[in-house]
Amino acid sequence: MTDLRAALPPARLPKPNDPCWCGSGKKYKKCHSGQDTMLVRAQVSERDAKRIRPGLISPKRPVPAHIQGPDYARTGRPGSREEPDVKSPDVIARMRRACKLAAEVLQEAGKHVRAGVTTDALDAIAHEFCVSRGAYPSPLNYHGFPKSICTSVNEVICHGIPDSRVLEDGDIVNLDITVYLDGVHGDTNATFFVGHVDSESRKLVDVTRECLERGIAAVKPGRPIREIGRAIQVLAEGHGYGVVRAYCGHGIGERFHTSLQIPHVDDPDARTLIEPGMTFTIEPMISLGDWRHRLWDDGWTAVTLDGRRSAQFEHTILVTPTGAEILTQV
């Protein structure tokens, strides 16, 4: 019974005047409340001790001069030009190539995930693979971001900056890859296991992957975008997980992020109707506990408020007349 309680977050413990979980017939406050409070504090202290800390960040990696970069490559400031949600056949053809390459970069970088490797080393691998194929790594200098990919470990929700931290046995790490090729972007990510990962984290990752699949399956022309988030939210919360609200999927094409937003919860304001020819990302961020986040002082790294783990998966999809085509596949 103690092991079961240790797996539950504080919000699930009984209220003071509720019957105690142990079946004694006493009120919770007169039975196990004190012991449970000590247990919760111990869990929080243990999580605090294991929280990810910033490492050293190496200089930006150079991109060969012959590679075409996006408008922000030099200045760090993306332009404000909008683009249509429904893409032309030419843009779609180019996106197929960019998205395929993004999937290949993710696959290559993922091969090197193991204990003892730094996230900066993974950035170097992805960067070199990308530029060797004539593409620009889209995150590099986007609003000043200093690296070519995002690496989000354990409680880092998204936008983790690759640095000198060494991956440890039992970690989970998300690699977020976007490439710019032939004037368009392709965006994908996945969460990887580092060595021997506990069953709680494995289930989180498996459910998060399924959340992405459910979201993609909800893409049908004529339906409102909110149905994508509804499908994700129902599955995640059915497992007792939190769905991060602060970050969402987005339109993508010649711009890295367009104004089209794809929430991962059932947002009544997401009333835009899905149309064939739209291209956007679905990228649910699912947490073991609290869905809220806080931001590190670097202005990028978002971590869970309670320090519990978070996982994410992402694909860029094309809306077809009958559903969705995943573009970010090898």
Residue 249 has a pLDDT of: 98
Of 184, 193, 176, whose CA–CA distance to 283 is shortest? Answer: 176
> Residue 134, by phi and psi: left (phi above 0), alpha (psi -120 to 50) or beta?
left
Of 274, 307, 316, 301, whose CA–CA distance to 98 is shortest? Answer: 316
**Which ranges of the chain have pLDDT less than 70?**
1-12, 36-49
- CA–CA–CA angle 209, 213, 215 (5° rounding): 115
Backbone angles phi, psi at 293, to 5 degrees: -135, 165
Residue 108 to residues 95, 123, 184, Cα–Cα distance (Å): 20, 11, 21
Render 196-258 in DSSP notation, one character per residue: S--HHHHHHHHHHHHHHHHHHHT--TTSBTHHHHHHHHHHHHHTT-EE--S--EEB-SSSSS-
Residue 19 has a pLDDT of: 85
What does the block give as tokens for 115?
A: 């204990």
Using CA atoms, how far apart are residues 69 and 182, in angstroms rounded to an integer? 9
**Whether 150 contacts 140, CB under 8 Å:** no
The fold for domain 52-326 equals Creatine Amidinohydrolase (3.90.230)
DSSP state of 88: P
Of 254, 197, 209, whose CA–CA distance to 68 is shortest? Answer: 254
Q: Fill in the amino acid letter for 42.
A: A
Say whether 304 sits in a helix, a strand or coil.
strand
| Model pTM score | 0.86
Residue 172 has a pLDDT of: 98
Query: Within the chain, which residue ranges are assigned CATH 3.90.230.10?
Result: 52-326
CA atoms within 13 A on the CB side of 66: 4
Residue 16 has a pLDDT of: 83
Calculate the CA 284 to chain-centre distance: 6
**Whether 309 contacts 289, CB under 8 Å:** no
Residue 7 has a pLDDT of: 39
Q: What order do you get walking across the sheet with 302-304 strand by strand?
A: 156-158, 302-304, 293-295
What does the block give as tokens for 202?
A: 């494995």
128, containing H or E segment: helix 119-132
Say whether 300 sits in a helix, a strand or coil.
coil
